[in-house]
Structure 1
Amino acid sequence: MDFVSIRIITGDVARLVDFYERATAVAANWSTEDFAELRTPSATLAIAGTRTVPLFAPGAARPAENRSVIIEFLVDDVDQVHRNLTDSVEEFVQTPTTMPWGNRSLLLRDPDGNLVNFFTPVTPAALAKFAR
């Protein structure tokens, strides 16, 4: 089995895609005005509008209600990501901090309130774990 993607349901696809394009420097591939994907070598972040939910199961997902999932991105320089997003993020939950497990982490909320963690391994053990 391969983990392929995570999909965020949103009330404003263009706004959320714009945020993630700026945050990740990955251009989105649009399928329709209600669906776009940001593809990385290891996984895809799919962003879909509320009009797509009934295609699966009506009422099964609602935008901006996640309080249990953290979307994580491995980045080369978490401090640079923080600098790049300082003017566009409404809520930084935690500014860049070196965590006990060896990653330097930046935790913020995207425009829909989803938690997003950008991290850079900094200790030898963390660097080895995430060696590319």
Structure 2
Amino acid sequence: MNLLSIRIITTDVEKLAGFYEKITGLKAIRYTEEFAELKTETATLAFGSTKTLQLFGGDDVAKAAQNRTAIIEFLSKSVDDDYARLGELIGPHLVQEPTTMPWGNRSLLFRDPDGNLVNFFTPHTPEAFERFKRDTE
């Protein structure tokens, strides 16, 4: 089994996909007005409109902008550089400035326009570098 994709249900696919394009520098693929994907080397972040919920059983299957349990994480070359580059964009949504965590990663935590937590992290200690060695080479 291999995790391939995470999908965020949103009321505004264009706004959310555009935000993730700005923070990652990647271009989202827009298949329709109701569905887009941002593909990275290891996984895909998908954006589905609330209108797509009808295909999965109805409006009550998921609720847009209601997530309070998951953190969407991106491995970054330098969260400090990301913070300098994205400061204005993420400023109103900043949760935590770059901070070195007890497990050895340097982390930048903020929210996307729908309130989902986003973590950019960079291995910072030798042990953390070793854990992510295959992902940073």
- TM surpasses 0.5: yes
Q: Which has the higher helix share?
A: 2
CA RMSD of aligned residues (A): 0.8
User: Once the 2 structures are TM-superposed, how far is the Cα of residue 122 of structure 1 from its aligned partner?
Assistant: 0.9
Q: How does 1:1-132 map to 2 (within 5 A)?
A: 1-58=1-58, 59-89=60-90, 90-132=92-134
Distance 2:115 2:64 in 1: 9
- The 3-state SS of whatever aligns with 2:9 is strand
- The 3-state SS of whatever aligns with 1:64 is coil
How many residues were matched structurally? 132
User: Once the 2 structures are TM-superposed, how far is the Cα of residue 83 of structure 1 from its aligned partner?
Assistant: 1.6
User: Once the 2 structures are TM-superposed, how far is the Cα of residue 14 of structure 1 from its aligned partner?
Assistant: 0.7
TM-score by length of 2: 0.93
Write the deviation string for residues 1-46 of structure 1: whole angstroms up to 9, x where unpaired: 0100100001111110111001111110111111110111111000
Write the deviation string for residues 61-118 of structure 1: whole angstroms up to 9, x where unpaired: 1110000001100010111111222111222110000001110000101000000100
TM-score by length of 1: 0.97
Unmatched tracts of structure 2, length 5 or more? none
State the identity %.
Answer: 56
**2:10 aligned partner, one-letter code:** T
User: Once the 2 structures are TM-superposed, how far is the Cα of residue 127 of structure 1 from its aligned partner?
Assistant: 0.5
**2:32 aligned partner, one-letter code:** T
Which runs of 4 or more aligned residues in structure 1 lie more than 3 Å from their structure 2 counterparts after TM superposition? none
**1:14 aligned partner, one-letter code:** E
